[in-house]
Chain A
Amino acid sequence: MKKGLSPKIRIALFVIFLILVATLPLYLKNQYFVRVATLCVMYSALALSLNLITGFMGQVSLGHAAFMGIGAYTSAILSDRFGWSFVPTMLCAVLIAAAFGIILGIPALKLSGSYLAIVTLGFCEVVRLTELNWMSLTRGPMGMTGIKKPLVLGWQIKTNGDYYWLALILMLIIIFFVINISNSHVGRAIMSVREDEIAASAMGVNIRYYKVMTFTISAALCGMMGAFYAHYMRFIDPSAFNFEQSTSILSMVILGGLGGVPGSILGAVILSILPEALRDLAALRMLIYGLIIAVMMIFRPQGILGRTTFSQILGIKKKYAVTPEEAAALLDGEETPYEELKKEEQA
């Protein structure tokens, strides 16, 4: 991966890339492309939130469309019935999705693997059927129409470009949280659950607490993007939050890389653009989609980028290993029967 380039050049290239991403609506005049770019950003954010559970904690969830739906309906209803502006409806969407995250986190305490996949899938269906049948609240299959264009802290969203920037800001918020959490003691505890639950609890990690917590955070972030989705599409109906939606978010995480931030973004971008590019082959779309995932699972199960982090891509990952002399200095005169391991000794 860009082995030869020095960190300085990599950072420079990265900054140029960021500028191109941030100014995209200014030079991309085709409105259709701007809308596809917005979808890429929105799905990146959704994939990142699912990655917390699937990549970092190693648990499958097919229920994430439900959190998105809960966020979308919460936000749409508050905006429609009570005339609330975007930010407060989004915060409520976050809270309510988080509450449902706790509810889904509880079965995750007892189940894992395909059993958990089935339970989360069931959750997704139950939420969708509720949305479909609770006519007085959600208008059921007719869906909710005419959701206002959002007013974000005085910034009236009007153009496709505005929506793109709003999505970008929300995605940055999610990246901020996901990177911070994964680089901290909470993140390591979450990863220890993925690696070995028995060893993790022997190290004092409260598995139940971290499982429920991770589901809650992930659901909250999905709920936030659901609120965006509702205000972006300006029309929602339960079919947008079905099992297929959950599957495509999960596919993005698997394709891009389990347990890495750049991977989720790459996976989301590829799988958001692909269906658009394959529009003419609509009948074959799911087939091609499935084929890609199957091929990945066989040849590169960790996903395209695996757990690669931004700091690794930029070549600025912090190194902790020391030289034998530095190790001796760390000991500060204390006795030890062990010499520092030599590189050659390694298996």
Chain B
Amino acid sequence: MKTMLELKNITQVFGGLVAVNDVSIHVDEKEIVGLIGPNGAGKTTTFNCITGVYNPTKGKVIFEDRDITGKPVHEITKDGMARTFQNIRLFKSLTVLDNVRIGMHIRSKSNLFFDAFHLPRRNKAEKEMTEECMKLLAMTGLATHADDRADSLPYGAQRRLEIVRAMATGARLLLLDEPAAGMNEQETAELMEFIRELRDKGYTVFLIEHDMKLVMNLCDRIYVQNQGYLIADGTPAEIQSNQAVIDAYLGEEV
């Protein structure tokens, strides 16, 4: 299968701390890949290196055969990948719909001139955009709440809204940072179902998660990170029986 995202020996240093150490990862098209590891392992930092928040100290990020290392965040989003945040970062005081419409920002067919003069082209772009956003919201059960403030939604729904907003960018690769954090069992089950459907729709998903049930049931492959290093990768079954992973992270219960 075609490789979509490739990290080549990524290292990220903060002062004296090596948060990500020589990490190489690849994510193939239409795969669901997991990144797990204990708190402070460097998972979120790895995501930040991919999405351009940090320019990695060493190494390369290749996305769809192009080197995107060091590109600004907004340009990487334009290239076709989008993310969610571990500590939800919605546009809190804007409406649910506006959050998604901002997600669609880069695909808008209008510009400052058409907007400022309220020309037909702006109206058409706005209408099409709103229709598409409402469809995305309906897919996640949020269409009835389109006019509500984003921060008035219950926690689980806010996480969903972040995923919808990332999809709205037109991304083909979604990076989800702990999408099930704080969800109850039922919500987690719905989320797993939803992520499977995303794959059926053609999305590729790379996710960080602490919920082992979700990770083991959902992911095709898993990478395990500990203290910056990758200590293992493989199928869920391989990871569950890997002694190094059990020692560092999974412990006795799995």
Contacts and interface: CB of A to CB of B under 8 A. Distances in A.
Interface of A: 176-177, 180-181, 184-189, 191-192, 195-196, 198-207, 213, 319-324, 326-328, 330-331, 334-341, 343, 345-347
Given A203-B106, A338-B194, 13 more contacts: A184-B122, A184-B126, A195-B91, A202-B74, A205-B102, A206-B74, A320-B95, A321-B144, A321-B145, A321-B146, A322-B134, A330-B138, A341-B154
Contact of B101 (A185, A199, A340, A346): A185
The prevalent SS among residues of A at the interface is helix
Contact of A203 (B105, B112, B140): B105
B73 A201 contact: yes
A192 B103 CA distance: 10
Interface stretch (B2-10, B15-23, B82-90, B241-249): B82-90
A346 B74 contact: no
Given A205-B74, A335-B197, A337-B194, A186 B144 contact: no
A219 to B, nearest CB: 15
Contacts, number: 176
Closest 8 CB pairs of A and B: A338-B141, A184-B115, A204-B106, A337-B193, A195-B91, A204-B77, A327-B143, A199-B89
A200 B144 CA distance: 24
A327 B51 CA distance: 33
Among B74, B94, B160, B169, the one with the most A-chain Cβ atoms within 10 Å of its Cβ is B74
Nearest to A335: B197
B60 to A, nearest CB: 21
B108 interface: yes
Contacts of A207: 74
A185 B89 contact: no
Contact of A341 (B118, B141, B194): B141
B153 interface: yes
A347 B129 CA distance: 28
A185 B146 contact: no
B27 to A, nearest CB: 18
B78 interface: yes
Interface of B: 51, 53, 72-74, 77-78, 82-83, 85, 89-95, 97-98, 101-106, 108, 110-112, 115-118, 122, 125-126, 129-130, 134-135, 137-148, 152-155, 157, 160, 165, 169, 189-190, 193-194, 197
A331 B135 contact: yes
A105 B139 CA distance: 40
Q: Which of A180, A335, A337 has the most CB of B within 10 A?
A: A337
Contacts of B108: 185
Given A185-B105, A188-B101, A338-B160, A322 B144 contact: yes
A220 to B, nearest CB: 11
A203 B77 contact: yes
A343 B193 CA distance: 23
A272 to B, nearest CB: 27
A334 B141 CA distance: 12
Contacts of A322: 134, 138, 143-144, 146
A202 B51 contact: yes
A177 B116 contact: yes
B98 A198 contact: no
Nearest to A320: B146
B148 A186 contact: no
Given A188-B102, A201-B72, A331 B139 contact: yes
Contacts of B116: 177, 180-181, 184, 186
B105 A189 contact: yes
A184 B122 CA distance: 8
23 contacts: A184-B115, A186-B115, A196-B92, A201-B74, A201-B77, A202-B73, A203-B74, A203-B103, A203-B105, A203-B106, A204-B82, A206-B72, A322-B144, A324-B144, A336-B197, A337-B194, A337-B197, A338-B140, A338-B142, A341-B144, A346-B148, A346-B154, A347-B153
Contacts of B145: 321, 341, 346
Nearest to B122: A184
A191 B94 CA distance: 8
Contact of B141 (A204, A206, A340, A346): A340
Most chain A Cβ neighbours within 10 Å, of B110, B145, B169? B145
A244 to B, nearest CB: 31
Contacts of B126: 184-185
B165 to A, nearest CB: 7
B190 A337 contact: yes
Contacts of A199: 85, 89-91
Contact of A328 (B72, B73, B103, B138): B138
A324 B144 CA distance: 6
Contact of A198 (B89, B110, B146, B193): B89
Contacts of B117: 180
A341 B193 contact: no
Contacts of B94: 188, 191-192, 195
B111 A186 contact: yes
